[in-house]
């Protein structure tokens, strides 16, 4: 029996970056529900479409509001959030409830590896291997997904 594709919302205000991410999402066997460019649009789309995963830039068209979007998405809807950011220091120690982050600029290989790992963990309920080096996993999610200690985790 084939499992349904993981439903993903992309929150990214750079059009070319969003298009590339959509391609990588499809390549990972996931389904893109849409692209939001602002926090307001992201929260509306999360409410309307109930994605299972949100790929979220920290700095959006309406300012550095990605952290607040992550907190609300995780708290209100139980949505898994993966940050994409050029500045990890903008993220709080608890990752605002997000599962982790991928550093920008990312490589296609790095984002592809992170998406595949996240998809496997979401599908299987946990990790069967260490997380890829491109993914900085939040400690709470590493514990939830039973990521082996040799996995790439945050300090």
Q: What is the CATH number of the domain that holds 94?
A: 3.40.50.2300
Which domain covers residue 109, as residue numbers? 7-144
Q: What pLDDT digit, counting tens, does each position of 27-68 carry?
A: 999 999 999 999 999 999 999 999 999 999 999 988 778 999
Check residue 1 and give its pLDDT. 45
Does the global pTM surpass 0.95? no
Tell whether 154 is covered by a domain. Answer: no
Token output for 3: 């499992």
Q: Is 84 exposed, middle or buried (0-12, 13-18, 19+ CB in 10 A)?
A: buried
Tell whether 149 is covered by a domain. Answer: no
Check residue 63 and give its pLDDT. 78
| Top-confidence residue, 2 or 135 | 135
Domain count, the chain: 1
Tell whether 54 is covered by a domain. Answer: yes
Tell whether 43 is covered by a domain. Answer: yes
Tell whether 2 is covered by a domain. Answer: no
Check residue 150 and give its pLDDT. 54
Tell whether 151 is covered by a domain. Answer: no
């Amino acid at each position: 029996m084939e499992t349904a594709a993981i439903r993903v919302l992309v929150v990214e205000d750079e059009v070319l970056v969003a298009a590339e991410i959509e391609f990588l999402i499809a390549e990972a066997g996931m389904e893109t529900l849409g692209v939001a460019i602002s926090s307001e649009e992201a929260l509306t789309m999360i409410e309307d479409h109930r994605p299972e995963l949100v790929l979220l830039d920290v700095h959006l068209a309406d300012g550095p509001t990605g952290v607040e979007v992550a907190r609300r998405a995780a708290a209100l809807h139980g949505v898994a959030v993966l940050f994409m950011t050029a500045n990890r220091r903008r993220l709080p120690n608890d990752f605002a409830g997000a599962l982790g982050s991928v550093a920008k600029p990312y490589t296609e290989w790095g984002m592809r590896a992170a998406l595949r790992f996240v998809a496997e963990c979401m599908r299987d309920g946990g990790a069967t291997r260490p997380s890829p080096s491109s993914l900085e996993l939040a400690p709470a999610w590493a514990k939830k997904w039973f990521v082996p200690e040799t996995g790439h985790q945050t300090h």
